[in-house]
């Protein structure tokens, strides 16, 4: 049986990945992490979507230790999400070590359920500047998991080279545009759907959606071209 584990936050990107995975794998497991995030409603959203979409199993893991260690606007209510970069060149919403931890735990879970594929919605093309969303990081993490567990394992990143408009096109390709638009939570301030309209995550989401809706044929054509040459 062909199995996959999807790192699932209930946001636009991970929901698009989940919908895609459900069409490609015999058995799909979703794993969601509770790290005391600012937009904690995303856990409830993820639970609702996992049930609606019919995943085999949905595991919610308590990783609140990350909140204690990583100081970020996503882990502290008294730090406002900023549109400006910090002195280190990163947004203050960056949670150091988050994807290292998430992919490690997803790898352990995949080992236990007999899945050889982990799917995550990280993206290097159109993203918030997080270093743990880069292709270089994912490849290094993949190699570490394979060596550390002595098991074939592949981290799949369907969105790595897509911009946000193309990510919307991908959802539309799987007849999930309305579901992703209306039922996912991407907003850092915890507002489902179109969000607060002000935080960096909402800006990126809205700009991509507008671009796709205004240029559907050309964006879809570019998505299909990239799918034919998935390396870049």
- Name the binding residues for ATP: 8-18
* Contact of 9 with 183, CB cutoff 8 Å: no
Residues making up the annotated binding site for Zn(2+) are: 187, 196, 199, 202
Q: Which residues are annotated as a binding site?
A: 8-18, 187, 196, 199, 202
Phi/psi class of residue 135: alpha, beta or left (left: φ > 0; alpha: ψ in -120 to 50)? alpha
The tokens describing 193, both together, are: 């759907």
Q: Which residues are CB-contacts of 100 (< 8 A; sequence separation ≥ 6)?
A: 132, 141
Helix (H, G, I), strand (E, B) or coil at 61: strand
Q: Is 107 helix (H, G, I), strand (E, B) or coil?
A: helix
């Amino acid at each position: 049986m062909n199995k996959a584990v999807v790192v699932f936050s209930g946001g636009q990107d991970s929901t698009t990945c989940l919908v895609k995975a459900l069409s490609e794998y015999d058995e799909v497991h979703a794993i969601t992490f509770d790290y005391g995030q600012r937009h904690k409603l995303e856990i409830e959203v993820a639970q609702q979507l996992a049930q609606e979409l019919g995943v085999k199993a949905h595991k919610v893991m308590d990783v609140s230790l990350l909140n204690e260690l990583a100081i970020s606007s996503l882990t502290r209510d008294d730090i406002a999400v900023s549109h400006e970069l910090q002195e280190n060149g990163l947004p203050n919403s960056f949670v150091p070590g988050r994807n290292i931890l998430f992919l490690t735990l997803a790898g352990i879970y995949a080992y236990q359920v007999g899945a050889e594929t982990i799917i995550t919605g990280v993206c290097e093309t159109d993203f918030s500047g997080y270093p743990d969303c880069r292709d270089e990081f994912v490849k290094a993490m993949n190699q570490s998991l394979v060596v550390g567990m002595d098991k074939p394992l592949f981290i799949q990143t369907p969105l790595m080279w897509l911009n946000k408009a193309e990510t919307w096109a991908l959802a539309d390709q799987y007849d999930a545009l309305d579901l992703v638009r209306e039922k996912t939570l991407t907003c850092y301030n915890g507002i489902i759907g179109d969000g607060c309209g002000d935080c960096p995550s909402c800006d990126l989401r809205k700009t991509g959606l507008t671009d796709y809706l205004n240029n559907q044929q050309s964006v879809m054509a570019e998505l299909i071209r990239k799918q034919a040459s998935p390396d870049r």
